[in-house]
Homo-oligomer: A and B are copies of this chain.
Amino acid sequence: MIHDFVYDIPVKVYFGTEQLKNLGPELRKYGTRVLMTYGGGSIKRIGLYDRVVKEIRDAGLELYELSGIEPNPRVASVREGARLCKEHRIDVLLAVGGGSTIDATKWIAAAACVDHDAWDFFDYKIWAPVEKALPVLDILTLSATGSEMDSGGVISNPDTRDKHGRMHPLLLPKVSFLDPSTTFSVSAYQTACGSADMLSHIIEVYFNMDQDLYMLDCVMEGLMKTIIKYTPVAIREPDNYEARANLMWASSWAINGFVDGGKQQAWSCHPMEHELSAVYDITHGLGLAILTPRWMKYCLDESTVSKYVQFGVNVLGISPEKAPMDIANEAIERFASVLFDSFGLQRTFPEVGIDESHFDSMAEKAVQGGAIDGFRTLKKEDVLNIFQMCMK
């Protein structure tokens, strides 16, 4: 069944190498007092920091800064950002970085407008409403999470070992600047993790037994082919603009909501991975890469095999002549090879330092909102089984 849906993505995107001249005018639409947020020193190393500061100063805007936003951003950064917004009566936020920086900045924008603690937005018992948020603009420097074009953000709370994502339309960036050349300096490893994340965003939607829009399946197949084709190119030739541009634009469209028009299925690997990286602080995309092929294997049976066949034939180029179950198994193997051979990511939990000691509590938390009602329904036991499959 094709469900009704609303498509509403009013994010304006400046794509390309010569777009920063539009930054000042775009910021100025929302006010004069700008809080720029970023992570470590990478934006300084590539010269982006200086270019951005110059544009802001040339536009006559007042600049404040919050640096040190971490990968898997923490609620402490959100609190600090909100404090700065209130103290300096900030009009508009500018996130410069990858998904972590943008995610944190979205929630700073919301937390700046309320008196309660920032974690109240994520505590399942409180789930404070989002009724207002400062405008957020961003300059993306990593192709991965799609945060530049969606309304969500994932925040970690190390004290409680929680990591929760939440979406709200008020958190959609007003404007995103996507310059593929800012990702030339992204390491092979981070490039691979980003691409694994993008592929997972698509797979979470694509693996669906609902009879839905064929057109969107075709679009998803095109995005997956793009990511599979260009990730090894970007790893081999970090400053290949064509590869970086394709990966960057694909990252946005993998998750901005377009491809899941009419689909209502919950995600599977992301909730499992969030518990992993909440405990182990591994890179989100790496956790997804290890989990996804196992999850695929776990969910395969006669009732789901047709989707694997579609995936294998249309995305991985497997001949449609073979038996469906053979195509499905080959598709899982080839996909694992994409992640572990072509992208060069680590293959098992032990390789990344994860043992069984937290399996039980992680699985418990992954289903604390109820069983994962995705491609296949996953209860705690299923999650434990999939974790176990990742051990070798």
Contacts and interface: CB of A to CB of B under 8 A. Distances in A.
B2 A19 contact: no
Nearest to A224: B218
A15 B211 contact: no
A211 B242 contact: yes
B214 A246 contact: yes
A321 interface: no
Interface string A213-224: 111111101110
Given A222-B218, A222-B219, A246-B213, A15 B7 contact: yes
Interface stretch (A28-36, A160-168, A225-233): A225-233
Given A215-B222, A218-B225, A223-B218, A7 B13 contact: yes
Given A221-B222, A222-B222, 18 more contacts: A2-B245, A4-B17, A4-B18, A6-B19, A8-B12, A8-B13, A9-B9, A10-B10, A213-B245, A213-B249, A214-B242, A215-B222, A215-B246, A218-B222, A218-B223, A219-B219, A219-B222, A249-B261
Contacts of A19: 4, 6
B226 A262 contact: no
Contacts of A15: 4-7, 261-262
A90 B311 CA distance: 51
A49 interface: no
Contacts of A3: 16
A14 interface: yes
Contacts of A7: 12-13, 15
A7 B19 CA distance: 12
A352 B30 CA distance: 55
A249 B215 contact: yes
A217 B222 CA distance: 8
A46 to B, nearest CB: 19
Contacts of A253: 215
Nearest to A3: B16
A203 B216 CA distance: 19
B229 A214 contact: yes
Contacts of A4: 14-19
A350 to B, nearest CB: 35
Interface in A107-157: none
A64 interface: no
Nearest to A19: B4
Given A7-B12, A8-B12, A222-B221, A215 B250 contact: yes
A349 interface: no
Contacts of A241: 2
Contacts of A215: 222-223, 226, 246, 249-250, 253
